[in-house]
Structure formats: C-alpha cells, structure tokens
Structure 1
Amino acid sequence: MFTTQEEWDRGYVEGRRYRPLGDAERSLLATRLAPVAGSRALDVGCGTGELAAHLSSSGYTVDAVDWSETALAEAGARYGDAARWLRLDVEEVEEDDGDALHVDGYDLITLRFVAPFLGARDRTLGSLGRRLRPDGALVVITPLAAATPAERRGIALDEDELVRLRSRWTAAERHDAEGLVVLVLHGPR
C-alpha cells in the first residue's frame, strides 16, 4: 500500500492504473447527485482524472486534487480544462486555507479509492465535510474488504469501518456498484 508522495508518483510512472469508472457508478452519480446550475465538485485523489472529467461533462465545475505530479500531468494532458488540477495533500489542507480550495465550498466531494489510504481518516473526512455547501454530499467509493483478496485488503474498507464512517454523518445511503460500496453522506456531525 502506498503511503508517501514518492510511492504514488513512482506507481504512476511505472504505469500503475486503477479500475476505470464503471457504468453503475456513472448511473448512481447521475440519478442521486445530478448538478444544478452553479454546482461545484471536488474530486479528492483524482489520479489520472477520469471521475473529474465525468463530473465536468455532467455539469459540475470541478476542482481535482491529487498528491502525484505524474497523475495530474496525465489528467491535464488527457482532459485539459475539464477541471482545475491541483497538487496537494488533502490531509494537510487547513479549513481556512482558501488558496488551494474554494472558500465558498462544494456541492459534491468525491473520494474514489481514497478513504482506505487516509492516515487521519476521521479528521480529514470531517474537514472535507465542513467544506460542503448546504445539502451537499460527500461520496466515498471503495472496495469492500471481504470481497478483496487478502494481499490487497489494505485498499478496501471493512464493514466495521463503513458503519463507523456512516455514524459520523446525519444521513447516509449505501449503494453497491459493480463490486464497490458507494456511500453518499450528508450533514457531518
């Protein structure tokens, strides 16, 4: 499991790529989280930009952040101005740091294949939750540990972790999408 910026960069340089965005995920985002005029999204851990580009084509104005320069360079080359591509460690961004992220908040914040890698998960998700606009949603997309081979369980969340995560929000929906768990969270506690 990658834990440093250098490891993430090296993984992308070596050609490591992750599961493409699936039709079930696209459908779920379209039906549950369709944007309205002026909607803003933040894609955390955007990697090579597929989800950020999808959100942009759906009508969101998108900020996409990743720790890897290599991933962001590929995202920018592939998807151009579909998003504002930002290199930063989301765990280090302070709530009042308006230089990197929009101070007026986001209607949607996505973390696809990111939550298991967060060292300070509760603090980081809480901080991101406070960046949501009223009625905004934080979406966590993750493999389920029980359905993940033992040698790769570090990239997934287990049922106890999912229950704990859901308990920190006033409203939480769980959806299954092609072997992934999609949590749609509203109202951080």
Structure 2
Amino acid sequence: MSDRNTAEYWNPIYDDGHDWRQVCDAEIAMFTHHANPKPGQRALDVGCGTGQLARALHSLGYGVTGLEVSAAALLTARTRSSAQGPRWVQHDIQTGPPPGIPPTSLDVVSFRLSFQFLDGRPRILDMARGMLRPGGLLYLVLPVLERETLDAGRQSSALPAAEIAELCQGWHVDRWELGWMDYLILRSP
C-alpha cells in the first residue's frame, strides 16, 4: 500500500488546515447537466476530504455519505456541515465496500481528486460499479499527467491519459476538461 493513501499520511495534512481544489460553479453546472439529479437519490463521495463535493451533492437533493480514511478531514467536514447535511463515515475503500452501503443501492459514486491515490484502481472501480443502481453513475475528477504543471519539488499524483482511457473502457463516458483535470461521468452501457 502506498504511503499516500493511509490515514497516517493524510491526518497531519488535514490537521495543518490544508484543503484542496474548491468545487466551483462550473463543475456543479456540468455535473448537474450530465447527471440530471433528482431529490431522494443516494450518493457516496469516496475520499471526501473536508466534504466540499458531499455538501454540494447534498444541496442538489442527494442523500449523501461522505467516506474518508482521515479522521482529521472528517472532523473538518462535520464542523462545516449542518446536522441535516451528509453522513460522514471513516473507512478505507481499499479494504472493501463501506459499511451500511448495500450492493446496487446508489445513484452516484464519486471520487473527486481521490481515485489517483488508491492502489488496485481497477478492482475499486468494479466495486463502485457494484454499488450503483441500474442507471447510476460514477463521477471521477482526475488530474491528467500530460496537462499537469507543478511547482518545483512537488510530487505528482496525476494519472497518465492512457491509464484514464483504460479505466474508462466498458463504460459510456461523458467527459469535460477544466485546466489539467478530467471530469468524467461513467455509466454502464
């Protein structure tokens, strides 16, 4: 297991107050256009961090569970949310399906800037597919190595475009780009 996908790695980062690329209006507009959310649908935000996307999905009417390996991130997510907001669960998706999420029970499974850190990505993608109801979608936001620019000394977490294309095989794909990120909505054909 990579050291970049453990609670021990992420807790001190979140304890220091770090947060990541904010969910912007353009992202939510594109997601809404492609996903066509309806009140009462259920979503799982894997690697939810401080809960930015989970809160945005909740505001669109989804019943949301935010899943995160880092207790420090979840503490921040809870403090930024109302009591009626998303449900927060500490769990490492690499160890198996999250507790309380039955197969074929979700309308959306999202990995916003988290999927690239995981080991066994094809296996996790299959696990996510198994959690989706018929017609459900997988939402991935991934940094693309070929379009990424980094400050000197920063370690890349981006995925090569060829790996992203391979992960998308066997899915119907809606894709858009914002800067060096790919935003993907995957549906079973």
Contact 1:144–1:180, Cα closer than 8 Å, also in 2:
yes
Contact 1:22–1:178, Cα closer than 8 Å, also in 2:
no
Q: Which residue is equivalent to 2:92?
A: 89
Q: Which residue is equivalent to 2:139?
A: 139
- Contiguous gaps of at least 5 residues in structure 2: none
1:118-129 to 2 correspondences below 5 Å: 118-129=118-129
Q: 1:100: how far off?
A: 3.2
Which is worse superposed, 57-66 or 178-187? 178-187
How many residues are treated as equivalent by the alignment? 184
Which is worse superposed, 46-55 or 99-108? 99-108
Q: Which residue is equivalent to 2:14?
A: 12
2:156 is aligned with 1:186: no
Give the aligned residue type for 1:33.
A
Q: Deviations over 1:46-102 (max 9, x none)?
A: 0001100000001111011000111111111111331110000011124xx6x3324
TM-score (norm 1): 0.89
Alpha-carbon distance in 2 for matches of 1:114, 1:84: 18
Contact 2:104–2:134, Cα closer than 8 Å, also in 1:
no
Alpha-carbon distance in 1 for matches of 2:39, 2:18: 36
Give the aligned residue type for 2:163.
E
What SS class does the counterpart of residue 94 from structure 2 fall into? helix
Q: Which residue is equivalent to 1:161?
A: 163
Q: 1:145: how far off?
A: 0.9
- Contiguous gaps of at least 5 residues in structure 1: none
**Identical aligned pairs, as a percentage?**
32
Alpha-carbon distance in 2 for matches of 1:154, 1:177: 18
Q: Which residue is equivalent to 2:71?
A: 69
TM-score (norm 2): 0.89
2:178 is aligned with 1:177: yes
Alpha-carbon distance in 1 for matches of 2:125, 2:166: 12
Contact 1:86–1:100, Cα closer than 8 Å, also in 2:
no
Give the aligned residue type for 2:165.
V
Q: Which residue is equivalent to 1:46?
A: 48
Q: Deviations over 1:5-46 (max 9, x none)?
A: 111111101222111112221111111112224211110110
Contact 2:39–2:60, Cα closer than 8 Å, also in 1:
no
* C-alpha RMSD of the superposition: 1.8
Q: 1:158: how far off?
A: 1.4
Alpha-carbon distance in 2 for matches of 1:179, 1:145: 8
What SS class does the counterpart of residue 18 from structure 2 fall into? coil
Alpha-carbon distance in 2 for matches of 1:123, 1:9: 25
